[in-house]
Amino acid sequence: MSTPIIDLTELFGLSGRGDAPGRLLGKLETANHTGSVKDRPVERMLRDPRVAGAHTLVEATGGNTGISLAVAGSMLGKRVIVTMSRKMSPGKVRQMEEAGAEVILCPLVGLDSPANFINVARQLGEAEGHWYVDQFNNPANVEAHYETTGPELLEQVRDLDAFVAGAGTGGTLTGAGRALKERNPGIDVVLADPAGSTLGPHLRGEETEPAPYLVEGIGGDFLPPLLDFGVLDTAYQVDDAEAAAHLRTLAAAAIDVGSSSGTTVGAALAYLRDHPGATVCALLADSGDRYAETWRNQAWLTDHGL
């Protein structure tokens, strides 16, 4: 089932800005079964025949893949172990544990450390009867978006000029981006990147040092193997304060989405400033219900200057 497209043009005040303000749409991935875009790759990755021979599924996650995998694993009768950085919201841990997963929280360290959440998952996956799903390298992640997200966008938005999404594993932008450009090479594929991530600067040919940021699930301090930079046309970086402001605007309209959606909306608005009159669709990747202690908590926002 396709996830819905919602029109955000008037909500963000675009309809009154000159003769060619542009059109801002959102693809509402909260409509997926577990409330995030990650249901798409998880369903595809679990078609792997190695699943049948494993009693335990292991994954490294920013939270949403873990939630989806925990639910799917429970339905398959599999034990699920997920590793996750301590940066992520407690609500994600709670949802994974409620679905039966074991959650291992790891320190916020780089990929060169054995304690990094990806390296911990990889090691756990080597145990007998364990299968490491490996969303960061699994080609089925890209295939899921090539086969579903991209074609849905082409069907739902006939005059699409640009698609905007963040990159965690890179599966969404690579898969959907390839599908879009095969049909219409003129569609821009835009990376929405948190300020502090190294991905946007890399696309511009700049190698920078990562800096901390609070938005979850996108950006990073390493180049995701699945992210095809050749598919990307441009990138916009959005800081945490701007992301929080956009989330407030969305929440005021009862659009309950997570932190990365503030980043994608910010990047889409920046694209529209550079391309007046364009029709842009931003991916709204997950539900706000998993951010009750953080991005949906005013005390937390105040403590972090947001």
What amino acid positions are annotated as catalytic residues? 38
Whether the Cβ atoms of residue 132 and residue 121 lie closer than 8 Å to each other: yes
The pair of structure tokens assigned to 188 is 């821009």
User: 59 near 83, Cβ under 8 Å?
Assistant: yes
DSSP code, position 80: E
The Cα–Cα gap between 99 and 96 comes to: 5
Report the run of H or E that residue 7 belongs to, with start and end.
strand 5-7
User: 3-state DSSP call for residue 129?
Assistant: coil
The SS3 of residue 212 is coil
> Which tokens go with 289?
């219900």
Rounded Cα distance between 172 and 228, Å, is 10
Structure tokens at 81: 């172990």
Tracing tokens 């890179």 back to the chain, one arrives at: 170
